[in-house]
Amino acid sequence: MQIDKLRGEQLDQLFDAILTLKDREECYRFFDDLATMNEIQALAQRLMVAKMLYEGQTYHAIVEESHASTTTISRVKRCLTYGSEGYTTVLDRITKKTGE
């Protein structure tokens, strides 16, 4: 995993903090304090791209709807295909939760 290079007390503290959040409103407040608007938008866009790829949508459709670059789409696709299954874990869970 790429993130193993960052593994340690600081990252553990960040993840532990995220895991304490109880609802969407707490997430909004925490991430508003934690990150810039651009950082939050980039993360949200990557998840949207992952969801669209997961659903089998084409690069063209993804560019049109998400406004992501083909470079971002390719990176996310590489993570979906060869990554640590983080996207897949989350997408499986949110798909089950929403019944899609």
For the chain, which ranges sit under pLDDT 70? Answer: 100
pTM, full prediction? 0.89
Distance of CA 96 to the CA centre of its chain: 17
Per-residue CA distances from 18 to 43, 47, 54 (Å): 15, 17, 25
Q: Is the CB of residue 80 less than 8 Å from the CB of residue 54?
A: yes
99 Rama sector, left if φ>0, alpha if ψ -120 to 50, beta otherwise: left
SS3 95: helix
